[in-house]
């Protein structure tokens, strides 16, 4: 009996070792040597689209731990969704090659399919559900339309949505996700709803910060200024001015100040929006990943989610006036 148990354990450990080797091999095979390499590929994607590399990029995201926490994966979900949606003919093949994927991280694929904008996304998700038996509940929620698609979900309902919309824009260059983010701008004048205040100011800051690098965004903003009510037009003009003068950091400091004041006046309440007070700073999750993807290397992922602090996020969202 003892010999049998030992032999079994030996096989188990041998299998484990082989799995570890195989996993390491997978990390090399996807073609992305580092997280920085992956980030550069994402940044440059629209200038040099290579949708055939998307499955490998998804495996790299998994290997680098970027998909483990769904609250930190918003930009990547949006980017994957954009690539899938922009490449309708290849979409099924691309999705199939994203497997195998651990059940926890499969949520990224499910959301990317639902957010892709493809007219046949229900059929695609139904077909792929056979590969994700552990995620039947989430898949069912999307197939029954209990969960909204990317352009339908409320901007103040989930702290990852703004990042996800930016990820979709990065992949496609479509104006729709940007116009959707703009809809949060009137909330910068809100004085009562902490979640809306946060969403509004993070929308305002990321719109300006991302336009500092991607000047095509400025053309979108200018074209939209005169087509909205005053409550949206005024903060949008402030975004345009900040982006034109490369002063997005002023909006970041404004966001921190306003949100901190609102938080101090608001009785403690449980919220889906992540706030953390550390070393005299108020840190926010929304926007840090998005800004990083669009060319702000000082913002490293992971950002600030439920108290997980990165030095880049501290630098960006510090309350100190001299940072």
In the chain, % of residues over pLDDT 90? 58
- Tell me the two tokens of residue 110: 């499910």
| Residue 286 and residue 181 in contact, taking contact as beta carbons nearer than 8 Å | no
Digit-coded pLDDT (tens) for 221-235 = 999 998 988 999 999
Residue with tokens 């403690």: 268
* Alpha-carbon separation of residue 19 from 12, 15, 25, 96, 150 (angstroms): 10, 6, 10, 21, 36
pLDDT digits (tens, 9 = 90+) for 101-142: 999 999 999 999 999 999 999 999 999 999 999 999 999 999
Distances (CA, A) of 46 to 120, 161, 172, 215: 24, 21, 7, 14
> How many Å apart are CA 98 and CA 75, to the nearest integer?
17
Which DSSP category does 45 fall into?
T
pLDDT at 276 (0 to 100): 32
More confident residue, 255 or 143: 143
> Which residues touch 228 (CB under 8 Å, ≥6 apart)?
182, 236
- Look over the chain and give the mean of its residue pLDDT values, rounded to a whole number: 79
302 upstream amide cis, omega within 30 of 0: yes
CA atoms within 13 A on the CB side of 234: 7
Q: Is the pLDDT of residue 5 over 60?
A: no
pTM for the full predicted model: 0.79
Q: Which residues pair with 283 in a beta bridge?
A: 276
pLDDT band per the 50, 70, 90 thresholds, residue 69: confident
* Residue in the structure block whose two tokens are 């550390």: 278
CB within 8 Å of 241: residues ≥ 6 apart: 247
Most confident option among 38-52, 118-132, 213-227, 270-284? 118-132
Q: How confident is the model at residue 56 (pLDDT cuts 50, 70, 90)?
A: very high
**173: which 2 tokens?**
């260059």
Q: Residue 115 class from Cβ within 10 Å (0-12 exposed, 13-18 middle, 19+ buried)?
A: buried
> What residues contact residue 23 under an 8 Å CB cut-off, 6+ apart?
63
Averaged pLDDT for residues 152-160: 88
Q: How confident is the model at residue 322 (pLDDT cuts 50, 70, 90)?
A: very low
């Amino acid at each position: 009996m003892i010999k049998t148990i030992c032999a079994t354990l030996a096989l188990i450990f041998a299998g484990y070792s082989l799995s570890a080797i195989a996993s390491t091999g997978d990390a090399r095979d996807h073609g992305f040597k580092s997280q920085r390499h992956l980030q550069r590929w994402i940044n440059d994607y629209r200038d040099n689209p290579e949708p055939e590399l998307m499955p490998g990029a998804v495996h790299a995201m998994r290997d680098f731990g970027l998909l483990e926490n769904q609250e930190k994966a918003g930009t990547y979900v949006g980017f994957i969704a954009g690539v899938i949606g922009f490449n309708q003919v290849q979409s099924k093949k691309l999705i199939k090659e994203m497997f195998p994927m651990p059940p926890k991280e499969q949520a990224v694929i499910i959301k990317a399919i639902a957010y892709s904008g493809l007219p046949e996304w229900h059929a695609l998700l139904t077909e792929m559900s056979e590969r994700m038996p552990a995620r039947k509940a989430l898949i069912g929620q999307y197939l029954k339309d209990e969960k909204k698609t990317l352009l339908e979900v409320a901007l103040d309902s989930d702290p990852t949505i703004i990042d996800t919309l930016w990820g979709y824009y990065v992949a496609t260059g479509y104006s729709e996700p940007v116009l959707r983010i703009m809809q949060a701008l009137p909330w910068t004048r809100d004085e009562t709803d902490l979640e809306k205040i946060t969403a509004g100011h993070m929308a305002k800051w990321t719109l300006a910060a991302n336009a500092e690098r991607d000047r095509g965004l400025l053309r979108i903003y200018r074209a939209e200024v005169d087509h909205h009510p005053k409550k949206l037009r005024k903060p949008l003009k402030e975004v345009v001015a900040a982006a034109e003068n490369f002063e997005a950091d002023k909006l970041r400091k404004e966001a921190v100040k306003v949100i901190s004041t609102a938080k101090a006046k608001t009785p403690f309440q449980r919220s889906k929006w992540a706030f953390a007070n550390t070393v005299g700073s108020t840190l926010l999750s929304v926007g840090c990943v998005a800004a990083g993807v669009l060319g702000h290397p000082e913002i490293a992922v992971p950002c600030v989610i439920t108290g997980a602090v990165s030095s880049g996020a501290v630098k960006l969202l510090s309350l100190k006036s001299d940072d």
